[in-house]
Structure 1
Amino acid sequence: MARVEYQASLEALEADLQEQGGVVLRAVAGAINALETQDVELCDEVIAFDDEIDDRYHRIERSIGELLAQQAPVATDLRLVLAVLHSSIHLERIGDQSVTVAKLTKLSAALEQHTELVEGLCEMGTRAAEMVRRALDSFAARDVDGARELVDLDELIDRTNRAVVDKVLAMSASPGMQEWGMRMIVVARCIERIGDNAVDIGEQTEYLVTGEFHEFSDASH
């Protein structure tokens, strides 16, 4: 493989990652919007996104296999290949978590709900979506400082998650709210994990730039 063709393959690989990220962001936004509006049809649309996200992940995986088979990358290029692969895996997981939120929203649509709690979950979701966007932007710009800022945003999501769980537990005395509340705890956990995966993508940005992998402090709990 000629060097020009090889470089074009690396650029295409990174472009594929950003395209996968765009689909994932649509899934996250759709899941949170469906939660806020209780739109069952939108839930189905988010669930349908999962196949496209998985297909894009497998396409990246195949491209990497072909690239490695044709040419042994130098150290910096190998870091890019590995960082793209790991980031793609985290994006695929975010897609799965968005689907779980959509499925639980759909299952809970007919149950009695707590408006304040839904608002808190949507606030978490909006922050998580912003984290994914920032993680992708930091990767593209090789912005290590921006990637490290994801830790502070993640802590805000973790705090909201703890508040949501406390509210659900306080509601447990109301039999009509128990089933819905338990499902919302799972929703909160999924949103929290979206934030954690965004931080993981940020860690790949630092690895790509520095050649050393470090878990960001307090990235997940």
Structure 2
Amino acid sequence: MLQQDSYKQHISAQFNAELEAVKNHLLEMGGLVEQQIGRAVEALLARDSGDAEQIIEDDQQVNQLEVSIDEECSRILARRQPAASDLRLVFAIAKVTTDLERIGDEAAKIARQAVRASEEGVSPSNFVEIRHIGNHVASMLRKSLDAFARLDVDMAVETIVQDGSVDTEYASAMRSLVTFMMEDPRTIGPVLNEMWALRSLERVGDHASNISEHVVYLVRGLDVRHIEPDELVAQVEEAERGA
């Protein structure tokens, strides 16, 4: 079991500083990605092509942070050869960085749909599904980052379980949008734009869930990928009792 501050206790103060620095850089990247998703959804709702174009351009900042954090992790592995909880921390940071970069990509995709929506018009759904699912996955992302910052397994598990609700909402929204297209073929273009944006939001939920899975592995040493929610909760509770 990884205590919340156990990885901070090292003979080398420099090693401690390196671990803290890379963790802080990861959380900085997380904050930027969270902003990107929120801005992209707002740009789509407002059909603001100007802000959407800026979001697409700003994705380079996310990519640069990914490269920088990967380099920091590589240096730590080469110089310090960390073991046990420290090694898990470095691996978790590297994996979370990948998920955050992909969330940034999804934000750019949503922004591109905002540009198209500004040209083709609003979907007949009035973006009701975008608002709802957008809020849901934004909450998941925020919780997953908080769980990582606090090493909070309970919050991480809660986030993982929520991904099932997002999948259900996404499937329902897609069925509703198909109905719009069947009823009026003139809506096909705008509805397809919304469908692609919803797909990106659903993927954001998946990546937020992945981040929370990394938290569970970091703190409990459990690989909970591909585990059903009920079994996940049971395994984490068992690990806590045995800790």
Q: TM-score, normalised by structure 2?
A: 0.85
Distance 1:55 1:158 in 2: 31
Q: CA offset at residue 155 of structure 1?
A: 2.5
Letter in 2 for 1:143: D
Q: CA offset at residue 200 of structure 1?
A: 0.2
Q: CA offset at residue 123 of structure 1?
A: 1.5
Q: CA offset at residue 134 of structure 1?
A: 0.5
Q: 1:179 aligns with which of 181, 189, 192?
A: 189
Q: 1:207 aligns with which of 204, 217, 224?
A: 217
Alignment partner, residue 82 of structure 2: 73
User: How far does the alpha carbon of each residue in 1:4-54 deviate from its partner, in whole angstroms, 9 at most, with x for none?
Assistant: 101100010100000000100110000111111111111012112210000
Q: CA offset at residue 117 of structure 1?
A: 4.6
Letter in 1 for 2:48: D
- Conserved? CA contact 1:136–1:201, under 8 Å: yes
Letter in 2 for 1:104: Q
SS of the equivalent of 1:171 reads helix
Q: CA offset at residue 183 of structure 1?
A: 2.2
Aligned residues with identical type, % of pairs: 28
Alignment partner, residue 96 of structure 1: 105
Is residue 2:40 matched to residue 1:31?
A: yes
Alignment partner, residue 123 of structure 1: 132
User: How far does the alpha carbon of each residue in 1:67-110 deviate from its partner, in whole angstroms, 9 at most, with x for none?
Assistant: 11111102110000000000010000000001001001211222
User: How far does the alpha carbon of each residue in 1:164-203 deviate from its partner, in whole angstroms, 9 at most, with x for none?
Assistant: 2112211223121112212221111110000010000000
Distance 2:39 2:23 in 1: 24
Distance 1:42 1:198 in 2: 24
- Conserved? CA contact 1:35–1:122, under 8 Å: no
Matches for 1:108-187 after TM superposition, within 5 Å: 108-173=117-182, 174-187=184-197
SS of the equivalent of 2:127 reads helix
The CA RMSD measured in Å over matched residues stands at 1.7
Deviates more, 1:110-119 or 1:138-147: 110-119
Alignment partner, residue 55 of structure 1: 64
Letter in 1 for 2:130: L
Letter in 1 for 2:58: F
Letter in 2 for 1:76: S
Unaligned runs of 5+ in 1: none
Letter in 1 for 2:81: A
Q: CA offset at residue 163 of structure 1?
A: 2.0
Q: TM-score, normalised by structure 1?
A: 0.94
Q: How many residues align?
A: 219
Alignment partner, residue 237 of structure 2: none
Unaligned runs of 5+ in 2: 1-10, 230-243
User: How far does the alpha carbon of each residue in 1:131-154 deviate from its partner, in whole angstroms, 9 at most, with x for none?
Assistant: 111100001111111101013322
